[in-house]
Amino acid sequence: MSTGTTKLDVVVSDVVPVNDLVTRFHFRRRDGELLPTFSGGAHVVVEMRDGDRTRLNPYSLMGSPLDTREYTISIRRDDVGRGGSLFMHRQVKPGLEMVISYPVNLFSLDLRAKKHLMLAGGIGITPFMAQTSQLAGAGGNFELHYTCRTASLGTYADVLRERYGSRVRLYHDDREERIDLDRLLSSQPLGTHLYVCGPAGMINWVRDRAASLGWPSETVHFEHFAAPQPGAPFDVTLAVSGKTIRVGEQQSLLEAIEAAGVDPPYLCRGGVCGQCETNVISSDGKFIHNDHWLSEEDHRSGCKIMPCVSRFEGKSLVLER
């Protein structure tokens, strides 16, 4: 049985520029009913119908889980990406009807924690917007450390400071402010859980330091969505469905498979959930693995690929799809 999610028919109820790079989008149900309840850290997959192509990108829900009249997401414009964020920024206006998935949470709070220590970098702040709302409503103990490039690009820094005061610490790159990570990680009470969302370099740095300082891996949580990267076009044969397809420069392999009418299961579309894992039947060329799901051994073996984020360069690729 398919493990995909149910879809929601929504309408864009508001589009709010937040700063030079980030815009916030509000969705309501077209039938006027409440949206499904969700938990802090959940994302939805937004379907972007752009002419004859469809992109599906995951975005964290950033509103309060206590308010399900609308969902809100914030999207950072990526001028060199595959065009999903540019489509959202340029073409999505209030009143547009769109389709999004039910919420899925792959970055859940561990409710056993005595304290939640959150580290955000840049647009990685969005899941923490919902998580802090959830915890604040229930009297939860949290502390948020948020790194941004400049004060003017500190998306929602002002909102968070106003809501939570000294529970939020800001660090600005342009002022050379840095988290004293070792000191922070060494001074936490027993029972603290650590959450990190931001650029890959930041996630790796925090996980490494936490491991070195003896944090059990079960207490370190991270959201590692890799956006699919553009790349040179390549051809793929889908052996089960008997189709040969071309993956365009700005298209992900998963999107190209879907455009051919084949629907593998998916949840995150960011290389972490494992749903779209696909067996390679044969290949002659080089894999560009961008996922966080397969083991290094799997990557080396050339027997598996995560089509949501990974690509291929070479003569031929045959997949079991």
Partner 1 sequence: MGITFRKETFRDDFTFKNSPEHIRRFPFPFNEDAYMYAVNIEPHVVGPKGSVLENLIDVDEHYFAEMQDRALVLAEDPLRCQSLPHMTLAGWDLLELLMEQQALGYPEHFTLERDGDRWRWINRPLGIDDTFTFGDTSTLPYGPMEYITRQSQGDFCILDQRDGNLWMDAGMVTTQADWSLDFDIGMNFFEWHAPVPLAHEKGIFTRALKFLTNIQQGKPARRLNWTMTINPRLDTSPENYHKWGPDRATVTPENVGDKVHLRVELQSFWRLPRSNGIVFPIRCYLIKMDELVTQPKWARRLHRVIRDLPEELATYKGLTRYRPTLVEWLSKLDDGSPTSPGFGPD
Binding residue for partner 1 (CB under 8 A) from 74, 275, 278, 283?
Answer: 275
CB atoms within 10 A of CB 14: 13
Give least dist CB 66 to partner 1, A: 9
Q: Which helix (H) or strand (E) holds 45?
A: strand 42-50
Given the complex with partner 1, which of 191 and 314 has the nearer CB atom?
Answer: 191
Q: Check binding of 111 to partner 1 (CB under 8 A).
A: yes
User: Does 190 participate in binding partner 1 (rule CB under 8 A)?
Assistant: no
Does position 103 bind partner 1 by CB under 8 A? yes
How far apart CA 163 and CA 132 sit, in angstroms, is 10
3-state secondary structure of 304: strand
Neighbouring C-beta atoms of residue 67, cutoff 10 Å: 13
The answer to the question of residue 112 lying near partner 1 (CB under 8 A) is: yes
Identify any residues that bridge with 56 across adjacent strands, giving them in sequence order. 47
Closer residue to partner 1 (CB): 266 or 287: 266
Query: In whole angstroms, what is the distance from residue 186 CA to residue 184 CA?
Result: 5
Ordered alpha helix ranges (H), the chain = 84-91, 126-137, 157-164, 181-186, 200-212, 253-259, 296-301
Of 13, 39, 229, 250, the one binding partner 1 by CB under 8 A: 39
Decide if 85 contacts 75 (C-beta within 8 A): yes
- Among 63, 65, 121, 228, the residue binding partner 1 under the rule CB under 8 A is 65
- CA separation for the pair 214, 159 (Å, rounded): 34
Angstrom CA distances, 302 to 283, 284, 298, stand at 8, 10, 7
Residue 163 tokens, joined: 């809501």
Question: Which residue's CB is nearer to partner 1, number 148 or number 273?
Answer: 273
The reply on whether position 138 binds partner 1 by CB under 8 A is: yes
Asked if 141 touches partner 1 (CB under 8 A), the answer is: no
The residue within the footprint of partner 1, chosen from 33, 110, 180, 284 (CB under 8 A), is: 110
Q: How many residues bind partner 1 (CB under 8 A)?
A: 27
Residue 273 Cβ, how far from partner 1 at the closest point, in Å?
A: 8
Q: Which is nearer to partner 1, 59 or 171 (CB)?
A: 59
CB nearer to partner 1: pick between 131 and 310: 131
Q: Which of residues 116-135 bind partner 1 (CB under 8 A)?
A: 134
For partner 1, which residue of 25, 27, 38, 287 counts as binding (CB under 8 A)? 38
186 binds partner 1 (CB under 8 A): no
Query: Which amino acid belongs to residue 196?
Result: V
**CA atoms of 9 and 6, how far apart (whole Å):** 10
What's the rounded Cα separation, in Å, for the pair 192 and 213?
14
| 196 sits near partner 1 (criterion: CB under 8 A) | no
Which residues contact partner 1 by CB under 8 A?
Answer: 1, 3-6, 36-39, 41-42, 65, 102-105, 108-112, 134, 138, 218, 267, 273, 275
